[in-house]
Amino acid sequence: MLRIALFLGTNIAILVVLSISMSIFGLEGVLDERGVDLNLNSLLLISSIIGFSGSFISLAISKWLAIKTMGVVIITNPKNDTESWLLSTISSISGKAKIKTPEFGIFNSKQLNAFATGRSKNNSLVALSSGLINHMSRDEVEAVIAHEISHISNGDMVTMTLIQGIINTFVIFFSRVIGHLVDRIIFKVQRGHGPAYYITSIIAQIVLSILASIIVMWFSRKREFEADSSAAKFVGTSKMISALKTLSVKSSSSLPDQMAAFGISGKKENSYRRLFSSHPSIESRIESLLRKS
């Protein structure tokens, strides 16, 4: 689950910066109609601008940030037979998916994982961990590559951006409305906004962002099933199932939370994490593939 937490973390950071900037430069003044009531139309407009700005900036820098954060080494000139085979496999599967061949890189990690990221289908990156390359068979590595390319060809990155932009918009909108109501009803501020408005808005934005992430994670889990299914069409169901079984046995943990995304592996589901998990259980993914085969 390599790209989702990266996307969410970057998005939240940008969102906070934009929200603070909006307050510092007095833009929230347009939200206070005549100093008494919120101008909901203006609030929704500004919320949309900030919400989608954070989301699209996150998408635009996702590939660069992933490379820098994970220490991905881009492979253009293969140094050995394995790298030559990997580049050839990525090119072949990309052709089947009818997309431009993504950049390919390897990052140093004992964990078996991989991720895809980038701002569009034709400007993307697929990266595999050294642990995955060293501990999986070529058939299984091929399935993992097909899974990541499926995320790209299915347009999951852009769709995630749009969903996150909508969620950001309503998180900002309702957090300001809550802050305004607390300011007026509890602290009896009649005109303008007092400290309670800003404090409550920030707290509400954090809480609503956490709750809204449930929607993002639900979408992510759904797309994992679709990526598995697409990968199975490219390389065969047996290879995809074999790769998942190997991940289930050999993956003790996921990639760092701050880099979670459209990877092949995720944290194991349990009753506490299920709503906030970016990946369904490997068992359920295998069952889904068997039903479709």
Sequence-ordered list of residues with C-beta below 8 angstroms from that of 151, at least 6 positions apart, any chain: 116, 157, 223, 227, 262
Task: Using alpha carbons, select from 143, 103, 136, 95 the residue that is nearest to residue 120.
Answer: 103
Alpha-carbon gap, residue 211 to 189, rounded angstroms: 29
The tokens for 290 are 């068997």
Q: Are 43 and 177 in contact (CB under 8 A)?
A: yes
Residues in the chain: 293
Alpha-carbon gap, residue 290 to 292, rounded angstroms: 5
The tokens for 73 are 């080494």
The rounded Cα 230 to chain-centroid distance in angstroms is 19
Torsion of CA 184, 192, 174, 258, to 10 degrees: -120
Between the two ends of the chain, the Cα-to-Cα distance in Å is 25
Measured CA distances, 235 to 17, 137, 238, 243 (Å): 44, 14, 8, 11
- Among the listed residues 28, 148, 224, 287, the single catalytic one is 148
Catalytic residue status for 269: no
Torsion-angle region of 35 (φ positive above 0: left; ψ -120 to 50: alpha; else: beta) = left
The single-letter DSSP state of residue 253 is S
Show which residues are catalytic: 148
